[in-house]
Structure 1
Amino acid sequence: MNRLTTSLGAFELTRFPEDPRDRLRAWDAADEYLLRHLESEPVDLSGTVVVVGDRWGALATALAEHRPVQITDSYLTQQATRANLRRSGADPEAVGLLSARDTPPGRIDVLLVRVPKSLALLEDQLHRLAPGVHPGTVVVGAGMVKEIHTSTLKLFERILGPTRTSLAEKKARLIFCTPDPRLGRTGSPWPLSYALPDGIGPVSGRTVTNHAGIFCAERLDIGTRFFLRHLPRRHGPDRVVDLGCGNGVVGTAAALANPEAEVTFVDESYQAVASAEATFRTNAGAGAKAEFLVGDGLSGVPAGTVDLVLNNPPFHTHQATTDATAWRMFTGARDALRPSGELWVIGNRHLGYHLKLRRLFGGCEVVASDQKFVVLRAVKA
């Protein structure tokens, strides 16, 4: 736990799920820069304040007395925000929590945007927010210097209005945008759909749907292609989980290969789960069974109820490289699996996932590998 000290107060903040061993902070210099700016100007926060892309709820918690609306694509961010509000003693209802799939407020007086890693997600968000922005709306973006590019500024300028940046402070920068009511409002170009290539099993030539912000939303990444070529061949009424489902192509392949299976798609991204559902509905038969969950890994799946978990774990949390997410996924899979249930994992060879799986499951085997990727199988005793 770390303390964020601002002119608005001091706040004890953590990421979610809270881990005492985690030294990563729940905020960064961009959050501090933005909060200092709101006080130094000062910005009138008496109207509708919308905070987009808040990483772990630091901005929403610091501004809780102004009753902001937080919009995020992350379930974990929402849980972190709730926990940090409780820890700060704020009214738990002080912040309105909306997902990236929800309709934003119809009028926005102050729009604060933490620039996301995905330019596509920023584009989609700005299009969705634009109808609520008016000529008097104060629009301020924030990010680390490495997160803000010319393409970032062009998006603000094209969708909302004239845009400029601040000087950098502690490797962070602010974006100032003046809404231009003369700009024509157009809808978001997302989601995108494309046909999958041949040679990747049951989903060859099928159509996949990607909402903004999904990993490799414009093409199928090479790791997933490799995984699809080496998925287990099973038959019967299995319960299968596509853990960290992304656009759902892996779980959909499992459903097509085994029509009797019931597939659960799980991701902490609202956009991902929406993509997975669209991909599955487009390709699966009318009688295919599936469940779609937004949550923290397999925490919402009862223990000992799953036959097969398919997993392509991320090794980044925002800008930080970490194996914490993979470790939680593997641990959750072990708990969710029935005895003799299987976890199949794909990862870059250098990540050493086989070591973690051996510690958790007592062993694992290499199903397939090439110079870059490895597919591993671990069985619950």
Structure 2
Amino acid sequence: MNRLITSWGETALTRFPEDPRDPLRAWDAADEYLLRHLADEGTDLSGSLVVLGDRWGALTVSLAAHGPVQLTDSYLGRRATSANLARNAGSAPGAPPVVLRSVRDEPPERIDVLLVRVPKSLALLEDQLHRLAPAIHADTVVIGTGMVNEIHTSTLRLFERLVGPTRTSLAVRKARLIFCTPDPALPRTPSPWPLRYALPDDIGAMSGRTVTNHSGVFCADRLDIGTRFFLGVLPAPEGPVDVVDLGCGNGVVGTAAAVASPGVSVTFVDESFSAVASARETYRDNVPGGDDRAAFLVGDGLADLPDDSADLVLCNPPFHSHRATTDTTARRMFTDARRVLRPGGELWVVGNRHLGYHVRLRRIFGDCETVAGHPKFVVLRAVAPASGGTGRSRTGTR
């Protein structure tokens, strides 16, 4: 646990889930720069305060006395904010409550101060500025913040086009602020998101089918090459099988399993609200009438699934946490998959070759095999040991 010291006091902050082995802090210089600017300028925070994209709650918790509304696409970010609010006693007595919403919820009707932590996804920023613009008025204070490698010319042009004239601050500790003056005369146009597109004709069960991508989903405007490779070698389970699409993104992998094997039930899981919304639409467009065979969960990986409840877990793990490269998420995904799989159940993973997932999988499962190779990617298969230790598959894929 680390402590952030600002003009609003000292705040104890952690990421979620808490992991003593994770050296990454729950805030950075961009959060500090914005909070310091608000204090130095004496910004009036008495009106409707909205915080967009707060990563682990540093901004929301520091400004809790002003009753901010937090909008985030991250379930883990929202859980971190909730835990950090509780850790720091939340709002002061008599202060307005802090409201935690997802970016898929209805936006506030009026915004007097909008603080934007610039997201990694320009598409997510575009979609949210479209959605929030009707609540912004001429006197709204709009300030963005991010590290210098997160703020590009395209970022500033987006604020200019959707909100109003925009300028940036000098860089301090590799962080920068964005100042935007709302222009009520700008036309309020609908968001172009979500996007829908047809898949190529050479990727197995999903060939030529349509997927839906809400903003912020990985490779939202195209099929990434790792997933394309994975789709070409996916197993086709026989009989009634419980499948989990872990880190589902737009749901194309889990939907492919349902299309190829009508007897399977699929649980789509992701920590992104937009991803799960995308997966739901992708599945329903391609498996009409199949809602009784699908579940859609926004959550912390497999934390909400019981032990021995799945026969097949399909996973394309992320190896970034915002800008940081880390295997923490993949490690937890593999460990949780081992718990959730029934004896003889299988975990199929696609990943970049250089990440060395086979080493981690052998430690957790006892062994793994390479199903398919690609110059950049590899597909690995690990089998949960049966009660007798044989590791015999339950899914009929081998």
Instruction: State the shift of 1:112 in Å.
Output: 0.1
Instruction: State the shift of 1:95 in Å.
Output: 1.5
Instruction: State the shift of 1:285 in Å.
Output: 3.2
Instruction: State the shift of 1:87 in Å.
Output: 1.1
> Does structure 1 residue 317 correspond to structure 2 residue 321?
yes
Aligned counterparts of 1:182 and 1:127: Cα–Cα separation in 2: 14
> Does structure 1 residue 203 correspond to structure 2 residue 202?
no
2:267 aligned residue: 264
> Does structure 1 residue 326 correspond to structure 2 residue 330?
yes
- Say what the alpha-carbon RMSD is for the aligned residues: 1.0
> Does structure 1 residue 216 correspond to structure 2 residue 210?
no
> Does structure 1 residue 282 correspond to structure 2 residue 289?
no
Aligned counterparts of 1:277 and 1:285: Cα–Cα separation in 2: 11
Query: Structure 1 length normalisation: TM-score?
Result: 0.99
Match of 1:360 among 348, 358, 364: 364
Q: Secondary structure at the match of 1:293?
A: strand
Instruction: State the shift of 1:235 in Å.
Output: 1.5
Match of 2:349 among 345, 348, 353: 345
Residues paired across the two proteins, number: 381
Structure 1, 284-293 or 212-221: larger mean CA deviation:
284-293
1:224-258 per-residue CA deviation (whole Å, 9 max, x = no partner) reads 01000110121211000000000000000000011
Q: Is the 8 A contact 2:72 2:103 kept in 1?
A: yes
1:252 aligned residue: 255
The percent of aligned pairs where both chains have the same amino acid is 71
1:186 aligned residue: 189
Q: Secondary structure at the match of 2:304?
A: coil
Aligned counterparts of 2:140 and 2:70: Cα–Cα separation in 1: 17
1:296 aligned residue: 300
2:20 aligned residue: 20
Q: Which amino acid aligns with 1:372?
A: K
1:310-356 per-residue CA deviation (whole Å, 9 max, x = no partner) reads 00000000000000000010011111111111000000111000001
Q: Secondary structure at the match of 1:242?
A: strand
Instruction: State the shift of 1:42 in Å.
Output: 1.1
Q: Which amino acid aligns with 1:40?
A: D
Aligned counterparts of 1:188 and 1:285: Cα–Cα separation in 2: 27
Q: Is the 8 A contact 2:284 2:290 kept in 1?
A: no
Structure 1's consecutive aligned runs of 4 or more residues displaced over 6 angstroms after TM superposition are none
Q: Is the 8 A contact 2:249 2:275 kept in 1?
A: yes
Q: Secondary structure at the match of 1:220?
A: coil
Q: Secondary structure at the match of 1:367?
A: strand
Q: Is the 8 A contact 2:67 2:91 kept in 1?
A: no
1:45 aligned residue: 45
Q: Secondary structure at the match of 2:211?
A: strand
Aligned counterparts of 1:199 and 1:184: Cα–Cα separation in 2: 42
Instruction: State the shift of 1:94 in Å.
Output: 3.1
Q: Secondary structure at the match of 1:307?
A: strand
> Does structure 1 residue 72 correspond to structure 2 residue 76?
no
Query: Structure 2 length normalisation: TM-score?
Result: 0.95
Consecutive unaligned residues of structure 2, counting only runs of 5 or more, are 386-398
Q: Which amino acid aligns with 2:370?
A: V
Q: Secondary structure at the match of 1:233?
A: coil
Instruction: State the shift of 1:302 in Å.
Output: 1.1
1:226 aligned residue: 229
Match of 2:97 among 73, 77, 94: 94
Aligned counterparts of 1:64 and 1:306: Cα–Cα separation in 2: 41
1:290-316 per-residue CA deviation (whole Å, 9 max, x = no partner) reads 100000000111111100000000000
Q: Which amino acid aligns with 1:147?
A: E
Consecutive unaligned residues of structure 1, counting only runs of 5 or more, are none
Aligned counterparts of 2:98 and 2:203: Cα–Cα separation in 1: 45
2:395 aligned residue: none
> Does structure 1 residue 160 correspond to structure 2 residue 163?
yes
